[in-house]
Structure 1
Amino acid sequence: MNADQLTTIRRQFPVTKRMLYLDSAHQTPMPTSVREALEEFIAEGHQMAGPKPVWLRRVEQARARVAAFLNATSSEIAFTKNTSEGLNIAANAVPLQAGDNVVLIEGDHPNNAYAWLNMKRKGIEVRFAKLRDGEIANAQTFAPYIDERTKVVTLSHVSFHAGQVHDLASIGKLCKERGVYLVVDAMQSVGVIPIDVKALGVSVLAAGTHKGLLVPQGLGILYVADGLDELQPAYLAMSSMARPPSDYIARPDDLDVRKDAGRFEFGNVNLPDLHALSASLEMIEDVGVAAIQQHVTALGDCLIEHLDRLGVRLVGPRDRGQRNHIYVLGLPVETWATYFARNDVRVSPERGGIRVSFALFNSADDVDRFAEIVRNGLKEGSLAKFANMD
């Protein structure tokens, strides 16, 4: 991303003039083009009582765009409310029987864990693979936990609490060899890291859109690989059916569901956010996800250099390829969160300290400003006393 591009992008995010926003792993601020798309949708509903056929055509256009974004087909994309709904859809769709097991990473996002732990009531065993702090998960992480009754391996592509970028390619290869479904939480990676679901061997992918995809909460995307017809929806609506009745009278003897991912969509989708998603994808595609990844990783390089000079510990991985846009600093939340808020810096409290996360609109100047604020904080006795230094 060149300087002119970055300047243009930053104009889309007025938050950059109001505060130092380093919290996109929590949620991204709304760009102007997304706000305008939402306003246009509201105006159409207000002035024309909703041109629903037009809106539904746009939904399919958005579906095709999301599919291309993931190297999928439109038939493999469904829309949900959020990541958690998508993961629960997957947990209930996989044909699990009592005695089968599912393997997760210990300490991964709890909403993924709860989706599968809920299956324990059906006699499903949930196994937790252990990782050391900052370690990257790969095929070797999961292999010791997989046996003939393992049906699913599931994990986040990028860890929310230390920023590791896990090795999905090797995990996907292992799952294919063992005949195991790979279910991926891509909440922290979609829109920030290029994702090729085919190359990675993903069976099901779930993600919300309020982080790397720049859309307000309330919309999720669900990828279900074609051919996995044995994955069946736990809930049915008319939109799920292979032959929805034109007279709107349910046929008890015709309960065949669609063969595509649409069998997991239930009723009306989030039309406003889908309009917003089309606008945000246009911006992201203009820059390119690979360029966004390169940009945020370079910002991470700059941040790590500052942290080393300041003597502040980085909780997660340091090596390129193992990290991307999320960085956790060993600064105790109890003292530093208030300090950052006082200085108009938006960050998140995390397990190991303070989480800093970058997006396409952040700049090297942002990192330098942040480092200076940390430096000033370290001069304050009450803060320096508690800093987790190298």
Structure 2
Amino acid sequence: MMNATEKLAAARAQFPVTKRLLYLDSAHQTPLSTNVRAAIEEFLSEGHEMGGPKPVWLRRAEETRERVARFFNAAPNEIAFTKNTSEGLNIAANAVPLEAGDNVVLIEGDHPNNAYAWLNLKRKGVEIRFATLKDDEIATAETFRPYIDERTKVVTLSHVTFHAGQVHDLASIGKLCKDRGIYLVVDAMQSVGVVPLDVKALNISVLAAGTHKGLLVPQGLGVLYVADGLDELQPAYLAMSSMANPPADYIARPEDMVVRKDAGRFEFGNVNLPDLQALSAAIDLINSVGVSDIQKHVSALGDRLIAHLDELGVQLVGPRERGQRSHIYVLALPVDKWADYFARNQVRVSPERGGIRISFAMFNTLEDIDQLAKVIRKGLNEESLAATVQAD
């Protein structure tokens, strides 16, 4: 049996991009692995050569639903497939029974697509409140408590933030929401596949995530968890697939508008079958290492990065403490100078509001971090040299 180091090395071999680039941008999107590409190619071949064995594809989609459910400690009937995180969050915002005068609490500066999903409800008289939080702080129950009153119906936040890498304390927030009868809606885009998630233990009501980051699948597929028993959450849109009794003759029955009890009531017709086949292959790859070991690995990479940054005198925007950070690190380097510099040196990163965002995946190594430090040191020397020349 392989140890964790060997498993990570085998996973890295699945990503040929690592031979061409120093890829440190998985919070934007992950590159295709060889096995995910093979799954997509298999789907295309079946459609090309056999006209599309749709019953087979649908069976595989249900198998993938079961595998996704296990990722979250959920039941398959609590999982629906969407287009992306934003669609899932909008489904949640329009499903929760909110009335004029009710309020929703978010974190100021969290991902805008979550904010817009709820801000859109202001036209219905719903109040949107923003809790404040610094980039080096994590959200806990105490972050939200001052903003909650008897008309608070929803607390919503990202599990891991895209802009500073905080890993928020969902356990305390979930307990607060459960105690107060508040729905907890979580954006897990940056955590799924990297940080273990137990929706039951965390008392999550609704969770939305896309698959093109930690789940290793191209854009166009999302997953939505809706806790069983929340029958009052009703879909804003209906399709035949949403109905409890879909008509076998494909003729709508106005007298029977009962929707499904499970999360399938939020699915609208055909799902993204090629990406679902790819997701099954991606889960195989993720499980070959294990999410807990992936989290330990990227945290260790972060330890190495922070040590280098301290040596280089480069400030970290987000939290430094283990447990409060995971795989996303924002370096306080001016984007206008450093984004182009990294691109010229074959280092894939993203500009972020606080500087340059570095993000890890299971295929990154300690040697990658050492190489990044060399690139940063070279850039700092060039910057100093340029400043000296300019001063002369």
Q: Same fold (TM over 0.5)?
A: yes
Shift of 1:3: 3.2
Q: Cα distance, 1:384 vs. partner?
A: 7.9
Task: Provide the TM-score with structure 1 as the length reference.
Answer: 0.98
Tell me the equivalent position of 1:69.
Answer: 71
1: CA distance, partners of 2:14 / 2:133: 39
Contact kept, 8 Å, 1:378 with 1:384, in 2: the verdict is no
Residue type matched to 1:158 in 2?
A: V
CA contact (8 A) 1:172 1:202 kept: yes
- The 5 Å alignment of 1:1-390 reads 2-381=4-383
Q: What is the rounded CA distance, in whole Å, between the counterparts of 1:363 and 1:136 in structure 2?
A: 26
What is the RMSD of the two structures over their aligned residues, measured on CA atoms?
A: 1.1
Counterpart code for 1:333: V
In the alignment, the residues of structure 2 paired with residue 34 and residue 269 of structure 1 have an alpha-carbon distance, to the nearest angstrom, of 18
Measured after TM superposition, the shift of residue 383 of structure 1 is 8.3
Query: What is the letter of the counterpart of residue 293 of structure 1?
Result: Q
One-letter amino acid matched to 1:376: K
Distance 2:310 2:361 in 1: 22
2:99–2:126 CA contact under 8 A, matched in 1? yes
Return the letter of the residue paired with 2:202. Answer: L
Residues 1:114 and 1:384: Cα distance change in structure 2 (over 3 Å): farther
Which of 247-256 and 377-386 deviates more? 377-386
Say whether the 8 Å CA contact 1:97–1:124 is kept in structure 2.
yes
For 2:333 and 2:69, the matched residues in 1 are separated by 40
CA distance in structure 2 between the aligned counterparts of 1:4 and 1:229, rounded to whole angstroms: 46
1:190–1:383 distance in 2 versus 1, CA, 3 Å: farther
Residue 20 of structure 1 aligns to which amino acid in structure 2? L
Distance 1:316 1:215 in 2: 27
AA at the equivalent of 2:12: R
Answer whether contact 1:328 1:353 (CA < 8 A) is retained. yes
- Alpha carbons 1:103, 1:150 under 8 Å: kept: yes
SS at match of 1:200: coil
Q: Figure out how many residues of one structure are paired with residues of the other and give that number.
A: 386
Aligned identity (percent) is 77
Q: Cα deviations across residues 154-213 of structure 1 (Å, max 9, x unaligned)?
A: 000000000000000000000001100000000000000000000000000000000000
Aligned residue type for 2:309? L
Answer whether contact 1:336 1:383 (CA < 8 A) is retained: no
**TM-score by structure 2 length?**
0.97
Shift of 1:77: 0.1
Tell me the CA shift for residue 374 of structure 1.
0.2
Structure 2: state its 5+ residue gaps: none
Contact 2:155 2:184 in 1 (8 A): yes
- Conserved? CA contact 1:23–1:356, under 8 Å: yes
The answer to whether the 8 Å contact 2:82/2:222 transfers is yes
Q: 1:124 to 1:383 in 2, by over 3 A?
A: farther
CA contact (8 A) 2:83 2:222 kept: yes
Report how far residue 385 of structure 1 moved.
5.6
Does the 8 Å contact 1:377/1:384 carry over to 2? Answer: no
Distance 2:38 2:387 in 1: 47
Hey, what's the Cα distance between the residues in 1 that align with 2:289 and 2:385? 39
The amino acid that maps onto 2:53 is P
Deviation at 1:61, TM superposition (A): 0.2
Structure 2 SS opposite 1:151: strand
Cα pair 2:297 2:362 within 8 Å, conserved = yes
**Aligned mates of 1:210, 1:110 — CA distance in 2:** 18
1:377–1:383 Cα contact (<8 Å) kept: no
SS at match of 2:201: helix
CA distance in 2, matches of 1:226, 1:374: 49
Q: 1:383 to 1:117 in 2, by over 3 A?
A: farther
CA distance in 2, matches of 1:78, 1:286: 25
Aligned-partner SS, 1:197:
coil
Task: Give, as a single letter, the amino acid of the residue that structure 1 aligns with 2:340.
Answer: T
Q: Distance in 1 between matches of 2:54 and 2:386?
A: 58
